[in-house]
Structure 1
Amino acid sequence: MPIAEDPQPRPTEGREPGGSDPSGAGGKDPFADLVLDEEFVKGAAVTEQSGRTRMLAARWKHTPPVDPGGRRSVNDGPAKAGRRFGRTPKPPVTDPWGNPRPRRRRLDWRAPLYVVLTIAVLLAALNLDGLRSWYSDHYGGGSSNAHTPVPTVAPETAQPTAAPPKVDEQQPTVDHPWAGSVAEGWPNGAEAFALPDARATGVFSAEQVGAQLQLVKDYLTAANLDPQVIAGGRPEAALALLDREDRDRAINALANPAKDTDPTTWFSRFDQREAVQVGDTVKVQGRITFEGDGDKGLLVHADFSYVYAMRPGPDAAKRAASPQPPTGGQPPTKPAAPKDGTAKPVGLLVPVGLLVPVGLLVPAADVAGDTWTTRTIVRRVENFRFYDPARYRVNPKKLVFGEGGGSESANSSCDVYDGYYHPEFDQFAAQSPDAPGSRPTGPTTDPYDRRKDLSTRDECGAASRL
């Protein structure tokens, strides 16, 4: 009986009926000289399957196997690629023999970002004080000396019933000239000159009233906000808007400043040798109203407070240590006003908290951002009268001052009438405790409190806050 390994029956060694020998071996075993060495195995034409393979093949012939799922073999072929995040997958990269080749990984953009962030954190850790200072300057927090902005306030529409709230006391500097002042939230410059709705009044139509209100606004801007005038220049634009009689009075006050003819009651001016405006922003708060004057004319009221941020001029320390200018008469030399309308004179380098002797003053084109500054507050109440042109010979395009009004200032040397305001700086205050004209004698008042009318007492008081 043949066995499974033999493809054909073995020879019978001549024992078949008839005595034939199909193998031609003459009764000799044909496998007697067969050597099963490596050469024989390599030259085999047929490779036999293992016993387990033949067993499984016989079983699966009647009962095919069931795929349990979750597992794949090398005979399953490549897996069917699905769509991921709506993108079509790229075909696999293979070598010339069909073997999968690993893809080159694209450079991850997050890696250099992590490196940069790590370096930034390390640098910040090495300079914590500088980081706090930068955060305080940009976001106003993290330090007791940080600048904290105040809420924005709209122009007045009526007389206030309460004083502005207190704010944290802070030392103002060139970088933050409004620190510690309620005026930081006030309108900037002419934004505060909100004109009321014009209406027909007396003999004037609504259109004429609107033109007169605009004329008043132009004058207030030229007299109180012009950088050339603030820098001590001649207020030509403001003078050109005045009627002849009032213009002559103002020109005489500029030429002969004295207690009774003080130009600062008309215009805001500073001596640049002593005080220089920081930037060109003036904080303003107040209101404009109008009414009929009883003679079929028009009366316009302007009540505004102006806050000027000033830094030391080149002679600030020297003037603080010496007597104040004479009370009246023309100063020895006038500072030249800038031609471009922007005050940019030579500055003074004064380190914070350090009183610099006069002999060590260093003129410079600008000052450091932490140089101490101060503020001068001026409240000016002015009445403008527009006469009936049918009854009076007037120029309808010129301003005439009415009765009443006046002005008062805070942080300006007392009893000095040379045509300029003279603010005092904290860094020089200890140098002139007994300088004449520097010590106030009147009561202490809040220059930001606009509930009351101007004081009629001829006294030089102190300011409760600047």
Structure 2
Amino acid sequence: MSEKPSDDQPSASEIPDDVWEQFTRDTERDIRGSAPKEPSARARMVTERLRRQEERGELPPGWRTGPTSWQERNGRAGRRRKLWAVLGVPVAVAVAVVALKPSLLPGDPFGTDEPRAAASPLPVETAAPTAPPAASDPETPTLDEPFAGSPALRWADGEAGIVLPEAKAVGPVSKDRVEQALKLTKKLLVAANLDPETVRGERPEAALSVLDPKQPKLLDDLNTALRSPSAEHDPVTMFSRFDPVEIRPAGDVIKTRGRMTFERGSHAGVAVRADYTFVYPVMRADGSTEVTRTIVRRVLDVELADPARYRVTPGRLTVRTYDEEIGNSTCDVHDGYLHPEFPSSGDKSTDPTGPTTDPYDRSRSLDDGHACGTVTRT
């Protein structure tokens, strides 16, 4: 007998006949399926035979229970769980790391390995800066990124960093003469500081060809410095040179930044002032991949004099003054080359006696002296 339906349940009369019949059939089927079943004749025979074998001692102990004991089953499962626990910890950590940085997976299967955004280049320097460049992230330079952590990352590459000002006539000196003087000055800067042959220590013929051979003493001093370098005659005061036995470039880019100005000269010509800084990423020539940088700032005052009034060679520059400041090169070594120091070397060959300076600071004038100082960054 079924229970009387409650007031909020539908009565049997409210249930459609087909639904009620389906419910009745399902209920009867479930009752039949859950009712105890009488063993078949074959099952009874097997059971009786096993009972007799057990009475005669023909069956092994524990045949009714399967495995020897529950501890054995639990032990095997426990070992599997422990193994999974041990494996699961590093796997979980790896999954978490990959989730945070999918680019760690080889091949970047998720397409997240985006290249580092290129630093926006600085505009051309048209006036003296009023402060040194801001501090950069302390990154270690590498072969792939030799300017990492350097303000020079945003500087122009090589010759592109030497942008000539617009030529204009100065007094009686024509615009064309001014333009010629600017181009010759650029040629000198490029040949002395960017030409691959010069940088790897060869004789800077292209740079020497710009200088006036009639200028007293200059070419003689430079030739002496190149032939027999010494403290008094050192070619690095004019040319950026590295010993190829010791140093090789880290890539083919030298960063350049500076400016050029001009005015009427003292010898009826045009005087040009060039103030440029060059940053050289280098590595040892012994196969090491450690990268460091040497920074060279040069200030040149040259003049393209009037050959009609003065005994000068047409189309050649007269050097009035030249000065340099070198950051990260061993002091008191005058063999004609720059000698970068690497962080891994740990020791310094000469104790610094000069001031601490920022080699990237183009807002200050160069000191007259050349004492061995300390740079704040490379």
What TM-score, normalized by structure 1, do the two folds share?
A: 0.56
Residue equivalent to 2:164: 195
The answer as to 2:376 corresponding to 1:459 is no
The answer as to 2:69 corresponding to 1:131 is no
- Report if the CA contact (8 A) 2:127-2:259 is conserved: yes
- Report if the CA contact (8 A) 2:181-2:270 is conserved: no
Secondary structure at 2:156 match in 1: coil
> Shift in Å at residue 132 of structure 1?
8.6
Amino acid at match of 2:355: P
1:293 to 265, 276, 286: 265
**1:36-75 alignment, distance < 5 Å:** none
Residue equivalent to 2:149: 180
2:183 to 189, 214, 239: 214
Superposed CA deviations along residues 31-86 of structure 1, whole A, max 9, x for unmatched, are xxxxxxxxxxxxxxxxxxxxxxxxxxxxxxxxxxxxxxxxxxxxxxxxxxxxxxxx
Amino acid at match of 1:168: D
Residue equivalent to 2:243: 271
> Shift in Å at residue 136 of structure 1?
9.5
Residue equivalent to 1:164: 133
Distance in 1 between residues matched to 2:196 and 2:221, nearest whole Å = 23
2:227 to 255, 276, 281: 255
- Report if the CA contact (8 A) 2:357-2:373 is conserved: yes
The answer as to 2:342 corresponding to 1:425 is yes
The answer as to 2:362 corresponding to 1:450 is yes
Query: What residue ranges of structure 2 are gaps of 5+ in the alignment?
Result: 1-94
Residue equivalent to 1:379: 297
Distance in 2 between residues matched to 1:284 and 1:383, nearest whole Å = 18
> Shift in Å at residue 436 of structure 1?
3.5
Residue equivalent to 2:54: none
Distance 1:453 1:380, change over 3 A: same
Residue equivalent to 1:415: 332
- Report if the CA contact (8 A) 2:304-2:315 is conserved: no
Task: Please give the root-mean-square deviation of Cα atoms over the aligned residues, in Å.
Answer: 2.4
Superposed CA deviations along residues 128-186 of structure 1, whole A, max 9, x for unmatched, are 5733997998533xxxxxxx754311221010112111110011111110100010100
Amino acid at match of 1:289: T
Residue equivalent to 1:283: 255
Distance 1:191 1:129, change over 3 A: closer
Amino acid at match of 2:262: F
Residue equivalent to 1:76: none
Distance in 1 between residues matched to 2:341 and 2:317, nearest whole Å = 34
- Report if the CA contact (8 A) 1:149-1:179 is conserved: no
Runs of 4 or more consecutive aligned structure 1 residues displaced over 3 Å after TM superposition: 127-138, 148-151
Residue equivalent to 1:77: none
Distance 1:252 1:386, change over 3 A: same
Amino acid at match of 2:377: R
Distance in 2 between residues matched to 1:188 and 1:462, nearest whole Å = 26
Distance in 2 between residues matched to 1:377 and 1:219, nearest whole Å = 18
- Report if the CA contact (8 A) 1:253-1:262 is conserved: yes
Amino acid at match of 2:366: L
Distance 1:268 1:133, change over 3 A: farther
Distance 1:460 1:132, change over 3 A: farther
> Shift in Å at residue 394 of structure 1?
1.2
Larger radius of gyration: 1
The answer as to 2:272 corresponding to 1:303 is no
> Shift in Å at residue 266 of structure 1?
0.8
Comparing both structures, which one devotes a greater share of its residues to helix? 2
1:401 to 306, 319, 343: 319
Identity of aligned residues (%): 44
